[in-house]
Chains A and B, each alone.
Chain A
Amino acid sequence: MYHRIQLRRRRKSTALAAAAMAIAVALPATPALAEVADSPRADDAAIVLAARQDPGTLDYVKSNLTALRLWVPGNVMEPLVYFNADGTVSPGVAESWEISDDRQTYTFTIRQANFSDGSPITAEDVIYSLEAMSQSPVVSNAAAHHAVEDIEKLDDRTVRVTLSRPSQNFWRGMGDVAGLIQPQAAADQIATKPIGSGPYRITEYVSNSHIAFEANPEYWGEQPEITSVTVRIITDGTAGLNAIEAGEIDASPVNTVDLWEQIVNRGLDEAYRLVTFPQAGEPTYAVVNSNVDHEIRKTIAMTLDRQAFNDAFGAPWGVENTCTFGLPHYPWYEPASEESCPYPYDMEQAMTRIAENGWGDIPLEYASLSDVPDLSLPADLMIPLMQAAGFTVERNAMDLARYSQLIFQGRPPQFDVTIMAGPGEPTQWACSDPQNGGWSTYCSAEYTEALAAADQALSQEEYVKHMKEASAILREDAVIIPIIAKAGVGLYHPDLVGFIEPRVGVAIEFAPMSWQ
């Protein structure tokens, strides 16, 4: 079916329409002409995508930025295995694998294939990659390797990983960034041109401009139909929408809520295909310093009108109210309900508690991340709600670099309340030692034990059970207070098909895409 994109160059459309009418009058209609089945771009082997953020580096071992994880894994770099949306596991760099009954020994048979630079994938490369990840400064990368006791080469194509205990994190990590395989010989170019065995290779990365990909001729699988992909980095949201409206961009796979109004006003939501998917979504949650009294934390939770956040941040984007830290595709996730929300929105009770206990005299510092719209806008809601309940809240706005230093890395963190959106992986809050209490560590021994039990689970049922227990502990303590879970939202040219839900973290895979 030919979908006409009305917003492209109206003058051209008018001229084309006139020409089409002239042809229609001049020629008798034939079945072949009447049934135009393909897009005008059916033979096109190129796509141009828009990205809102510049990664700055492509070194996925050292950097955890979403701007990097969207494009490199799954396209350039491959993990050992792929976890599909339907729960099945597909081969990646590992052609096959065996897992011992006690789930402590994993034996991977390496695919006989080449990296994009023509060098063969070797057992040494696999060992090097896994060991590099175990040393990664990115917590989630290294966490997958915590239980690894030994990695050994059995032969040129076989690697055995021995764990000290069963670990769900290890196995899941082998299908995520923690399991990406690179050639040791090319490791020094990882920041600008990482080499992998995926269907694409990077031809050029120019910071603030673009990342260019081309089909990898060495790829072991079927060559993709789209052979050229350009990810244009357009940091200004309006400029990005202009480019889409002018037809310069074929898809904007990840969009931010602040652009929603413009997207609707320009009719882009109708002219383009809107795709929502949970993997690139993120929970929005309040964080209260654990040093703030538990009763005050509970009261702050009561001031959070989840529906107000939902209304403000675009229900069309697939936003769900929740009191569970995570994303809707996680098996233990629960939407907001009486059972799952110990401190539901109750302004009257919050006001009474504040007045009775004199908490209104305690100044609370709200740390606000000013240069990220997805986070500064929720602050505009949360602060007035807290103030209306009677809290004294002072807003301290700062940019990401300063926020990182004071809030993420501060020990103890230099704030009382803040709001955040980001990865939904609850293991990021694990911490058993209160001395290390900070942003990325929740420091409840009970919570950490529940997560450890989940990690060591031998079955999916057991894993889900322990993760639900962990979620309950988190929400009861009101340090991390989930508000909404947002889905990832992409805008795609209606003729561009083949989008699949991300398999390697949040990565948008190009290979399945084609012009219909």
Chain B
Amino acid sequence: MLLHYVLRRLAFFIGAMFIASVLIFVLIRAAGGNVAAVVLGRDASPEAINALATEYGLDRPWAVQYLDWITGMMGGDLGQSFRTGESVADLVVSRLPISVPLAGAGLVLAILIAIPAGTYAARNAGRSSGTLIALISQIGIAVPVFWAGVLLSLLFGVQLGWLPTGGWTPWNVSVLGAIQSLVLPVLALGLVMAASLSRYVRTAVLDVMNQDYVRTARATGMSQTRALLTVGLPNAALPIVTFLGLLIAELIGGTVIIETVFSLPGLSRMILSNVAAREVIVVQSTVMLIIVFVMFVNLVVDLLYGLLDPRIRVAG
């Protein structure tokens, strides 16, 4: 039964990958324009554009281009940038030391803030302290991440001069400099995500607090805190884990904005500028990698669900 469930999820994963690859391939081309035109600028003749597009292999039928790209991907070759000839794999690897700590630390910060804050707000629902936490998280949800970034940059970078307003110091140049470059972006990302996550945690905890098993635990003489921690939170964990899976997709969207606001040369900003330049191979391969990652996380979450809750295995 479990093997059948795992195989079904894997088949879904592979099918979704194929559909995603076709969508990415078609969408970037459907947007119009091509990298040859962007490189050559406005006064280039159509003949020159066509010649460069041919040199880049963009004049080949879409099916041929797709097969060329996807077979390369499956063989571990992510392709090359048209403009610089750099390999996409190298480009991605060079951006990971920025984007991974940014997204990772942002997520950890969000969790560290949201779970205690959400739990506290649930425990104190109806009291002024609980309402205050709920209010703050509501305000946090309403704050766009770019605005949070600009405000933090103005306060800690411009006014106080404690941290750089933006830019990136590579790890191999200065570890301290790299950390300083990431502090404000991580804060901006983490705080805004914590707001929505804490609301979710509050709702989930409130939900389990009214369940029979928590009441039963309390009836055995457990304190409310102990009942919540030992019985309530484990049961609230499943929906929170689901929400965290969704939050990873939101995280990637957030890093696009944060990397732009703080001029960080991360993966998201690389994708954005390459979309504008119609560097189709760079965009396709990088976005595909991200999709594989996000879907893999979701697959793992699905499989964990199946393992944790047999009812899902049967229904799935």
Cβ-based interface call for B5 (8 A)? no
Interface size class of A (residues with CB under 8 A): 35 or more
**Across the interface, do A137 and B273 meet the contact criterion of CB distance under 8 Å?**
no
Which chain B positions have C-beta within 8 A of A395? none
Tell me the smallest distance from the CB of B165 to a CB of chain A, in Å: 4
> A232 to B181, alpha carbons, bound, how many Å?
14
With contact pairs A10-B159, A54-B273, A402-B32 given, residues A235 and B39 touching in the complex (Cβ less than 8 Å): no
Interface membership of chain B positions 85-126, coded 1 if the CB is closer than 8 angstroms to chain A and 0 otherwise? 110000100100000000000000000000000000000000
Tell me the smallest distance from the CB of B128 to a CB of chain A, in Å: 35
Q: Which residue, A138, A192, A404, has most C-beta atoms of chain B within 10 A?
A: A404
**Across the interface, do A401 and B37 meet the contact criterion of CB distance under 8 Å?**
yes
The segment from B19-27, B66-74, B255-263 that touches chain A is B255-263
With contact pairs A137-B48, A438-B46 given, residues A11 and B84 touching in the complex (Cβ less than 8 Å): no
> A439 to B51, alpha carbons, bound, how many Å?
18
Which chain A positions have C-beta within 8 A of B157? 242-243, 246
The answer, among A137, A192, A409, A411, for a CB contact under 8 Å with B51, is: A137
Cβ-based interface call for B40 (8 A)? yes
With contact pairs A208-B270, A408-B42 given, residues A242 and B277 touching in the complex (Cβ less than 8 Å): no
With contact pairs A57-B83, A64-B44 given, residues A248 and B167 touching in the complex (Cβ less than 8 Å): yes
Interface membership of chain B positions 30-54, coded 1 if the CB is closer than 8 angstroms to chain A and 0 otherwise? 0111100111111111101101100
With contact pairs A59-B83, A207-B270 given, residues A401 and B161 touching in the complex (Cβ less than 8 Å): no
What is the chain B residue whose CB lies nearest that of A58? Answer: B84
What is the chain A residue whose CB lies nearest that of B98? Answer: A209
Tell me the smallest distance from the CB of A505 to a CB of chain B, in Å: 13
Cβ-based interface call for A271 (8 A)? no
What is the chain A residue whose CB lies nearest that of B50? Answer: A409
What is the chain B residue whose CB lies nearest that of A188? Answer: B85
**Across the interface, do B40 and A62 meet the contact criterion of CB distance under 8 Å?**
yes
CB proximity to B under 8 Å, residues A50-73: 54, 56-57, 59, 62-65
**Across the interface, do B34 and A405 meet the contact criterion of CB distance under 8 Å?**
yes
**Across the interface, do A234 and B166 meet the contact criterion of CB distance under 8 Å?**
yes
Interface membership of chain B positions 153-177, coded 1 if the CB is closer than 8 angstroms to chain A and 0 otherwise? 1100111110011111000000000
The answer, among B44, B165, B166, B278, for a CB contact under 8 Å with A139, is: B44
**Across the interface, do A401 and B34 meet the contact criterion of CB distance under 8 Å?**
yes
With contact pairs A64-B43, A192-B84, A243-B166 given, residues A236 and B273 touching in the complex (Cβ less than 8 Å): no
The SS class assigned to the B binding surface is loop
Tell me the smallest distance from the CB of B223 to a CB of chain A, in Å: 47
**Across the interface, do B166 and A404 meet the contact criterion of CB distance under 8 Å?**
no
What is the chain B residue whose CB lies nearest that of A440? Answer: B43
**Across the interface, do B160 and A9 meet the contact criterion of CB distance under 8 Å?**
yes
With contact pairs A11-B160, A248-B167 given, residues A139 and B39 touching in the complex (Cβ less than 8 Å): no
The answer, among A62, A239, A411, for a CB contact under 8 Å with B165, is: A239
The answer, among B44, B158, B265, B277, for a CB contact under 8 Å with A409, is: B44
Which chain A positions have C-beta within 8 A of B160? 9, 11
**Across the interface, do A422 and B263 meet the contact criterion of CB distance under 8 Å?**
no
The answer, among B46, B85, B153, B263, for a CB contact under 8 Å with A235, is: B263
What is the chain A residue whose CB lies nearest that of B42? Answer: A408
Which chain B positions have C-beta within 8 A of A404? 33, 37-38, 42
Which chain B positions have C-beta within 8 A of A233? 263
Cβ-based interface call for B269 (8 A)? yes
> A219 to B147, alpha carbons, bound, how many Å?
46
With contact pairs A206-B265, A245-B158 given, residues A140 and B43 touching in the complex (Cβ less than 8 Å): yes
> A399 to B159, alpha carbons, bound, how many Å?
35
**Across the interface, do B84 and A57 meet the contact criterion of CB distance under 8 Å?**
yes
**Across the interface, do B278 and A401 meet the contact criterion of CB distance under 8 Å?**
yes
**Across the interface, do B277 and A401 meet the contact criterion of CB distance under 8 Å?**
yes
Which chain A positions have C-beta within 8 A of B273? 54, 56, 207-208, 235
Cβ-based interface call for B276 (8 A)? yes
Which chain A positions have C-beta within 8 A of B167? 209-210, 232, 234, 243, 248
Cβ-based interface call for B150 (8 A)? yes
Tell me the smallest distance from the CB of B80 to a CB of chain A, in Å: 11
Interface membership of chain A positions 206-244, coded 1 if the CB is closer than 8 angstroms to chain B and 0 otherwise? 111110000000000000000000001111101100110
> A208 to B277, alpha carbons, bound, how many Å?
13
What is the chain B residue whose CB lies nearest that of A230? Answer: B167
**Across the interface, do A232 and B263 meet the contact criterion of CB distance under 8 Å?**
yes
**Across the interface, do A208 and B44 meet the contact criterion of CB distance under 8 Å?**
no
**Across the interface, do B165 and A242 meet the contact criterion of CB distance under 8 Å?**
yes
Cβ-based interface call for A364 (8 A)? no
> A402 to B33, alpha carbons, bound, how many Å?
4
Cβ-based interface call for A6 (8 A)? no
> A441 to B43, alpha carbons, bound, how many Å?
8
**Across the interface, do A64 and B40 meet the contact criterion of CB distance under 8 Å?**
yes
> A422 to B44, alpha carbons, bound, how many Å?
13
**Across the interface, do A56 and B165 meet the contact criterion of CB distance under 8 Å?**
no
Tell me the smallest distance from the CB of A230 to a CB of chain B, in Å: 9
**Across the interface, do A239 and B161 meet the contact criterion of CB distance under 8 Å?**
no
CB proximity to B under 8 Å, residues A348-407: 371, 398-406
Which chain B positions have C-beta within 8 A of A137? 40, 44-45, 48-49, 51-52
Which chain A positions have C-beta within 8 A of B42? 64, 404, 408, 420, 422, 439-440
Which chain B positions have C-beta within 8 A of A409? 37, 44, 46, 49
Cβ-based interface call for A423 (8 A)? yes
- Top 7 nearest A-B pairs (CB, nearest first) are A401-B33, A9-B161, A209-B265, A137-B48, A64-B41, A57-B83, A404-B37
- Can you list 29 pairs linking A and B with CB atoms under 8 Å apart? A54-B273, A56-B273, A56-B279, A57-B84, A65-B39, A65-B41, A137-B44, A137-B49, A137-B51, A137-B52, A138-B48, A206-B265, A209-B167, A236-B263, A239-B150, A239-B166, A239-B263, A242-B150, A243-B166, A245-B165, A247-B161, A371-B276, A399-B276, A405-B32, A405-B33, A405-B37, A408-B42, A411-B46, A440-B45
Chain A interfacial positions (CB closer than 8 Å to B): 7-12, 54, 56-57, 59, 62-65, 137-140, 191-192, 206-210, 232-236, 238-239, 242-243, 245-248, 371, 398-406, 408-409, 411, 420, 422-423, 428, 436, 438-441
Chain B interfacial positions (CB closer than 8 Å to A): 31-34, 37-46, 48-49, 51-52, 83-86, 91, 94, 150, 153-154, 157-161, 164-168, 260-265, 269-270, 273, 276-279
